[in-house]
């Protein structure tokens, strides 16, 4: 794996993370834009494309902060 593929993976993950942040903050339109950008990379490292597919259908919700 060369440096370009690592950069590509990080870019995909960055779009996914930004999309989640926008969803949590109530900015669904911006979240969908970031998820779409992640989808366009076509990088499926660690199931990234499956995650994006789910996020495009259902907004991300913040995990509960309650102690288990």
**pLDDT band, very low/low/confident/very high, at 5 (cuts 50, 70, 90):** confident
| Alpha-helical segments (H) within 1-68 | 3-24, 28-41, 48-57
pLDDT digits (tens, 9 = 90+) for 32-42: 999 999 999 99
- Please state, in angstroms and rounded to a whole number, the distance separating the CA atoms of residues 13 and 41: 10
Q: Does residue 67 register a pLDDT over 60?
A: no
Q: Which residues contact 50 (CB under 8 A, 6 or more apart)?
A: 44
What mean pLDDT is reported for the chain? 89
Residue that wins the pLDDT comparison between 2 and 66: 2
Residue 62 burial by Cβ neighbours in a 10 Å radius (0-12, 13-18, 19+) = exposed
pLDDT value of position 66: 56
């Amino acid at each position: 794996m060369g440096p370009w593929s690592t950069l590509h993976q990080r870019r995909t993950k960055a779009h996914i993370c930004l999309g989640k942040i926008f969803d949590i903050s109530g900015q669904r339109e911006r979240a969908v834009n970031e998820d779409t950008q992640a989808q366009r990379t076509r990088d499926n490292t660690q199931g990234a494309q499956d995650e994006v597919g789910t996020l495009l259908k259902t907004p991300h919700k913040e995990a509960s902060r309650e102690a288990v």
